[in-house]
Amino acid sequence: MAAAIGVRSDYISGDLRRFARRSGDPDQVRRLLAIALILDGASRSEAAKVAGVTLQIVRDWVMRFNEGGPGGLATRKAPGRASILNDEQRTRLAEIVEAGPIPAAHGVVRWRLCDLAQWVWDEFALSVTRHTLGRELRAMGYRKLSARPRHRGQKSDDIADFKKALPPA
């Protein structure tokens, strides 16, 4: 049977318990407490049983702790799928949104997501759904703006007459 991987010795179990008390990440707390048990002399099997995980997971935690200390045990963001548009394509998209459509060239008078998706297909040969394109634009800081609706019969002179005056203080 292979020897267990040693736990780095620059931390003591009390330090790890203090880190666990201050941490807001419950998974990191569980990992820190399991490592603290190991530093107190418990076997890795006991630490795995207390943490509710398998022995292999405790081994992985020890390796992460040895590499990054208590911060190495924090929950990492899952990598997820890569973005469809690269930075250059996002820049071009931002330019075309800022400039607005040219009716003669683009055939529209204002950009809709379906029009922009067609433009992305024509320009980059990338098939992008409206939903994905909307998420990309939102991440770039764009929001859907719409004017406040006005009744067609509303007269601007009447607005002041209907406002309620505050009583004198």
* pTM: predicted TM-score of the whole model, two decimal places: 0.53
Q: What is the pLDDT of residue 2?
A: 66
Strand ranges for 24-159 from DSSP E: none
Instruction: DSSP for 120-160, please give it.
Output: HHHHH-----HHHHHHHHHHTT-----PPP--TT--HHHHH
C-alpha to C-alpha distance for 30 and 107, rounded to whole angstroms = 58
- R_g over Cα of the chain: 29
User: Which residues neighbour 130 within 8 Å (Cβ) at sequence distance 6 or greater?
Assistant: 113, 114, 117
What number of other Cβ atoms are within 10 A of residue 17's Cβ?
15
Q: What is the pLDDT of residue 121?
A: 96
C-alpha distances out from residue 137 to 38, 72, 76, 83, 143, Å: 48, 33, 26, 13, 8
**Tokens standing for residue 33:** 């407490």
**Tokens standing for residue 88:** 């250059």
What number of other Cβ atoms are within 10 A of residue 44's Cβ?
19
pLDDT averages per 10-residue partition of the chain, 169 residues = 78 93 94 95 93 94 93 88 92 94 89 94 95 93 81 77 75
Owner of token pair 């998209």? 93
